[in-house]
Structure 1
Amino acid sequence: MSNVSIAKGSCLCGAVSVSTTSMSNQVGACHCSMCRNWGGGPLLVVECESDASFSGEENIGVYQSSEWAERGFCTKCGSHLFYKLKQNNQYYIPVGIFDNDKGLVFEHQVFIDEKPEYYSFANETKNMTGAELLAQFEPPLSK
């Protein structure tokens, strides 16, 4: 995993800004039913480890989407800000909110077993089922 120096971005209305020094250059897509319900399609994210700082925190709403994860959004414009694993504060941030997308590679897709038939990405990626992804965590997560 290679990193860019400092990545910055903001929500659609600019009320919330994010910065990180740990942004992966590998973009991942999640096809799980919750991500598709949240955004109307797959969630395209970059991993930012636990290194994400936000300004405008009073405008961040948080939804506890499972026992192990929460989703953040701007309460003013509704932009998705993060998916965060609670056990290690690991942030997955939608790639589209960052100002710079140079050097990014669409690298993997998860919950490929939940991807609907009506769309398909042409990129060659690593693909994992939901069970394969959840089994990687200690202790294993259950959907």
Structure 2
Amino acid sequence: MQTHTGSCLCGVVRYRIDAPIDELTHCHCKMCRKAHGAAFASYASYASVPLDALYFMSGKDQLGVYHSSEHVTRTFCIRCGSNLLFVDNREHEVGVAAGTLDSPLPAPPQSHIFVDSKAAWYEIHDALPQHNGDSPR
């Protein structure tokens, strides 16, 4: 079994994932851009992993929650503001902000999603697959 660990910027929230991370997506939707303050958000598949494979080792009481849409909850550290999780309540998976992973991650398959709503000032210059919506699964 693969295990990955991660944490927020200040280190108060620490988590463990007991599952492989099979894909990374770079989401260009407006909500992800706003939430991350960047041209896109990279999720290790935001990382989509089974919800029951995610464990908080510390700081669960320091998680802030924002319901960004009817089906999506985003979590962040209330101390340092690190964006941590993306939970779609229609799925039993959670997306983990790839930048919060502390353990090494071999390069899994990657793609750009929601490129039809990317920032006008950002140009994609890599050869990764691009999707106008979510990545096909």
Return the TM-score normalized by structure 2: 0.85
AA aligned to 1:48 is V
Match for residue 23 of structure 2?
A: 26
Shift of 1:124: 1.7
1:23-62 matched pairs, under 5 angstroms: 23-41=20-38, 42-46=40-44, 47-50=48-51, 51-54=53-56, 55-62=58-65
Stretches (4+) displaced over 4 A: none
Match for residue 85 of structure 2?
A: 82
Shift of 1:88: 2.4
Structure 2, unaligned stretches of length 5 or more?
none
- For residues 108 and 124 of structure 2, the distance between their equivalents in structure 1, rounded to whole angstroms, comes to 13
Match for residue 67 of structure 1?
A: 70
CA deviation string 1:22-47 (max 9, x = no partner): 24142111111111111112110112
CA contact (8 A) 2:8 2:82 kept: yes
Q: Over the residues paired in the alignment, what is the CA RMSD in angstroms?
A: 2.1
Further displaced range: 45-54 or 100-109 = 100-109
CA contact (8 A) 2:21 2:108 kept: no
Match for residue 106 of structure 2?
A: 103
CA deviation string 1:98-143 (max 9, x = no partner): 112341236111111011232234332222113xx39x69xxxxxx
CA contact (8 A) 1:49 1:92 kept: no
Further displaced range: 41-50 or 116-125 = 116-125
Return the TM-score normalized by structure 1: 0.82
Describe the SS at the equivalent of 2:31. helix
AA aligned to 1:113 is D
Instruction: Kindly indicate whether structure 1 or structure 2 has the higher relative contact order, using CA contacts under 8 Å at least 6 residues apart.
Output: 2
